[in-house]
Amino acid sequence: MNFKDLILNIVNDENYKPMTIKEMLKYLDCDKYIKKDVKKIIKKLAKDNEIKISSKKKIHPLSTEDKSLIGQINLAQGGYGFFISDNKDFKDVFISANNLNTANNLDRVRIKIIKNKEFGKNAEGKVVEIIERNSNKIVGLYQKNKGFGFVISDSNNITSDIYVDEKNSKKAKSNDKVLVEIINYPKKGSPEGKVIEVLGNKDEANVDLISIVKSHGLKENFSKKVKKEAVFIEKDVDLSKVKNREDLRDLFTVTIDGRDSKDFDDAISIEKDNEDYILYVHIADVSHYVKEKSEIDKEAYQRGNSTYLYNLVLPMLPEELSNGICSLNPNENRLSLSLKMKINDKGKVIDYKIYKALIRSNYRLVYDDVNDYLDYNKKVYDDEVLLEKLDLFNDLYKILKKKREKRGSIDFNFTESQIDVSNQGDVLNISLFERGSANKMIEEFMLVSNETIASLFAFMDFPSIYRIHEKPKEEKVESFKNILNTLGYNIKGKELHPKDFQDILKQIKGKDDESLINMLMLRTMRKAKYTNYRDMHFGLATKYYTHFTAPIRRYPDLIVHRLVKDFIDNKLESINQTSLEKKLSKFAEHLSITERNSEDCERDVEDLYKCKYMKKFIGERFEGIISSITDFGIFVELENTVEGCFMYKFSDSHFEYIEDKLSCINIDKNKRYKIGQKVMIEVKNVDLDKRNIDFDLMEG
């Protein structure tokens, strides 16, 4: 055990009596050579708010209250924010703009309560210490003045401009988008920064896209070290070096992906054994090429995952791997980890085997074509063997889906958009994206594979990375039930189980508000995350779940692959489980953060492109459905999934917000509006910088 853990164990022991740093050093029996280092560790623990040093210089554990007052700031567009405590049972605290004390969005802070909670309102607090800045780098629009300039942040959550001395401007011009680093946070006035990168004029092609990428701290390019290492990656499989692998090249194998996909990390094969199905799921053996602690591996871990931004992909791995030797291209020898599952006619996996393999895909199939065959009976292929296999795949898919539905797995069916974007960033069209049988079939096969691998490690009680999804918070469920009751659906019972959510989705299927309720249900759920411990996946209604099937684009899958190979090679016994658990805990936390960051970036880019598209339709009218009502406006979602807001607070009419009914009334016209109601709107304004769309409500 290291000194940090040892000190924390001592301080948090129930029999611990506070001692000074000097007394602690004596208690630890530190010799003169390490005293200085241990002092630094103690001071760092205090700085990181893991212990507390009193005015009498004694070391104390943090009280529950101390821990509750440490957490994260989430800023809103109005400049105020909410404090989210590290203690999950502690209610959020409102922080006014005057009480932020220079805190920015997602900063870790310590607060004090200045006003206790009143009925229907949050407690109010004040930031007393910035523990850790989320980021000192901000993207914004540069405005030049004589001898200095200002950067206006792109983020709605940062309200103050950033002062830049001319010598720190990097010769930026007015209306340039820049990446600025904040170098000083004065107690009063604007923060001071220096430009570290000029991204280009705001009207240049794709500068808006790159601005979002930079604002999330994501990288477009790989470092020289990574590129140098990637050059030496083999281009083809050298069969003379292939050892201890099952040769599955004679097994009929296909990949099914999108038409524009370039990285194929999963392939499938199927056979029938009397009434049972033998499903093979082959996953690219990325870990064979990406060695632990190599430059490529370190960069992949930092990125955590690939990010997909329509006309730009930020891959986790260099192209030589993602589109090259790791991609399961047709008619090419490839290394894989292959999972062979025997599944009965009830959808139960009755036997399985995982092994290192050598495969050769017969076909690179496209979702649209397979959907044409499965959903519309169009004969798009001439190969009878292929058609026979597709029929078998489809039969098994239906069996697995039925089994999953029976246990209560939640299948969301909200409307997704397909955005067509040119290389220059022009939005050509926004249409609805339909998931056909082929898409759902591959998802089903990946789900059963991930569950099977998770159960392997759970059965052995061996450390691994798990994908968990905690049950939703009670207050969120209560709010969701209230909305459903408002919409005319009578939902009983205090606690909702996965099966209850599934029943709701069946009840609303085909109705006008189906997409809306799917979206509201999704908002009710917690975010799934990675952990080093087992827990259920609420949405899938399964005991154990992991990610194994996408190692080209997700680092957690790569970790699981390495553990699977240790299992295959009988190396698990030689691994220190305590050390591994600590490492996996750190990995899981980091990879959950990188995933959320990628998703936020993807959402911001989606909002940008929806704004760019709707700019063409200013002054035009569309029908939509009210998706949300707040005390300042009515949010409306159009058929193409674009959402905008009618800000009634700033309109000429007088509106009253009825919070408990999630509705509002136009007092002047005695007209009531509620969630799920169809309305006609006119596109009034589009703000590309803030990525907001303003609607006018056509009240007739």
> CA-to-CA distance for 91 and 121, rounded, in angstroms?
11
Based on the fold, state whether residues 34 and 125 are members of the same structural domain: no
> CA-to-CA distance for 89 and 68, rounded, in angstroms?
9
Give the three-class secondary structure for 166.
Answer: helix
In this structure, what is the dihedral angle of CA atoms 577, 579, 585, 591, given to the nearest 10 degrees? -100
Whether 211 maps to a domain, the answer reads no
Q: Which of 404, 467, 441 lies closest to 279, judged by CA?
A: 441
Read off the pLDDT of residues 300-312 as tens digits, 9 standing for 90 and up.
Answer: 999 999 999 999 9
At 372 the pLDDT is 97
At 332 the pLDDT is 98
Based on the fold, state whether residues 298 and 228 are members of the same structural domain: yes
Based on the fold, state whether residues 516 and 541 are members of the same structural domain: no
Based on the fold, state whether residues 588 and 486 are members of the same structural domain: no
How high does pLDDT run on average in the chain? 92
> pLDDT band at residue 66, thresholds of 50, 70 and 90?
low
Whether 213 maps to a domain, the answer reads no
At 188 the pLDDT is 77
CA angle 142, 144, 148 (to 5 degrees): 110
Residue 590's φ and ψ, nearest 5 degrees, are -60, -45
CA angle 673, 679, 680 (to 5 degrees): 140
In this structure, what is the dihedral angle of CA atoms 122, 127, 132, 134, given to the nearest 10 degrees? 60
Based on the fold, state whether residues 55 and 76 are members of the same structural domain: no
Based on the fold, state whether residues 312 and 415 are members of the same structural domain: yes
At 421 the pLDDT is 96
Based on the fold, state whether residues 232 and 352 are members of the same structural domain: yes
For residue 343, CA distances in Å to 22, 395, 420, 679 come to 64, 12, 39, 49
At 67 the pLDDT is 62
Based on the fold, state whether residues 357 and 393 are members of the same structural domain: yes
Read off the pLDDT of residues 310-330 as tens digits, 9 standing for 90 and up.
Answer: 999 999 999 999 999 999 999
Unique residue bearing structure tokens 């200045």: 114
Starting at the earlier edge strand, list the strands of the sheet with 663-666.
Answer: 655-658, 663-666, 671-674
Whether 123 maps to a domain, the answer reads yes
Helix (H) or strand (E) holding 192: strand 192-201
> pLDDT band at residue 44, thresholds of 50, 70 and 90?
confident
Which one of 102, 132, 162 terminates a domain? 132
Work out the average pLDDT over 574-588. 93
Whether 279 maps to a domain, the answer reads yes
> CA-to-CA distance for 167 and 156, rounded, in angstroms?
27
> pLDDT band at residue 119, thresholds of 50, 70 and 90?
very low
Residue 493 has pLDDT above 80, yes or no: no
For residue 360, CA distances in Å to 290, 459, 632 come to 21, 32, 59
Q: Which of 547, 558, 546 lies closest to 301, judged by CA?
A: 558
What share of the chain in percent tops pLDDT 90?
A: 68
Work out the average pLDDT over 395-422. 93
> CA-to-CA distance for 340 and 452, rounded, in angstroms?
10
> CA-to-CA distance for 619 and 548, rounded, in angstroms?
49
User: Do 689 and 610 form a contact (C-beta atoms < 8 A)?
Assistant: no
At 133 the pLDDT is 82
At 141 the pLDDT is 96
> CA-to-CA distance for 193 and 184, rounded, in angstroms?
7
Whether 547 maps to a domain, the answer reads yes
Read off the pLDDT of residues 585-606 as tens digits, 9 standing for 90 and up.
Answer: 999 999 999 999 999 999 999 9
Work out the average pLDDT over 250-254. 99
Strand extents, DSSP E, 441-595: 466-468, 529-531
Helix (H) or strand (E) holding 353: strand 349-360
Q: Which domain holds residue 622?
A: 618-698
Residue 211 has pLDDT above 90, yes or no: yes
For the chain, the straight-line distance linking the first and the last C-alpha, in angstroms and rounded, comes to: 72
Read off the pLDDT of residues 609-631 as tens digits, 9 standing for 90 and up.
Answer: 999 999 999 999 999 999 999 98
For 358, other C-beta atoms within 10 Å of its C-beta total 19
Which one of 62, 81, 106 terminates a domain? 62
Q: Burial letters for 546-561: b for 16+ Cβ neighbours within 10 Å, e otherwise?
A: bbbbbbbbbbbbbbbb
At 491 the pLDDT is 80
Which stretch, 41-50, 171-180, 519-528, has highest mean pLDDT? Answer: 171-180
Read off the pLDDT of residues 325-361 as tens digits, 9 standing for 90 and up.
Answer: 999 999 999 999 999 999 999 999 999 999 999 999 9
Whether 212 maps to a domain, the answer reads no
| Residues whose CB falls within 8 Å of the CB of residue 560, separated by 6 or more in sequence, listed in order | 453, 464, 465, 546, 547, 548
CA angle 667, 672, 674 (to 5 degrees): 140
CATH value at residue 170: 2.40.50.700
User: Do 54 and 18 form a contact (C-beta atoms < 8 A)?
Assistant: yes
Residue 1 has pLDDT above 80, yes or no: no
Based on the fold, state whether residues 507 and 406 are members of the same structural domain: no
Whether 214 maps to a domain, the answer reads no
DSSP state of 620: -
Based on the fold, state whether residues 538 and 441 are members of the same structural domain: yes
Unique residue bearing structure tokens 């004040």: 126
At 69 the pLDDT is 83
For residue 612, CA distances in Å to 36, 421, 606, 620, 689 come to 58, 10, 10, 15, 10
- Please give the single-letter amino acid code of residue 34: I
Work out the average pLDDT over 536-540. 94
- 524/75: higher pLDDT: 524
Residue 158 has pLDDT above 80, yes or no: no
CATH value at residue 99: 2.40.50.140
For residue 54, CA distances in Å to 3, 68, 428, 633 come to 21, 18, 63, 49
pTM: 0.86
> CA-to-CA distance for 283 and 327, rounded, in angstroms?
9
What's the helix, strand, coil split of the chain in %, to 5?
Answer: 35, 30, 35
Based on the fold, state whether residues 248 and 236 are members of the same structural domain: yes
> CA-to-CA distance for 131 and 103, rounded, in angstroms?
10
Residue 364 has pLDDT above 90, yes or no: yes
At 121 the pLDDT is 64
Helix (H) or strand (E) holding 51: strand 51-53
Burial degree of 121 (CB within 10 A; 0-12, 13-18, 19+): exposed
Cα-to-chain-centroid distance, residue 583: 21
Based on the fold, state whether residues 638 and 659 are members of the same structural domain: yes
> CA-to-CA distance for 394 and 442, rounded, in angstroms?
10
Cα-to-chain-centroid distance, residue 87: 22
Give, to the nearest 10 degrees, the angle between helix 555-568 and helix 295-303. 130
Whether 83 maps to a domain, the answer reads yes
> CA-to-CA distance for 126 and 618, rounded, in angstroms?
42
Domain count across the chain: 6
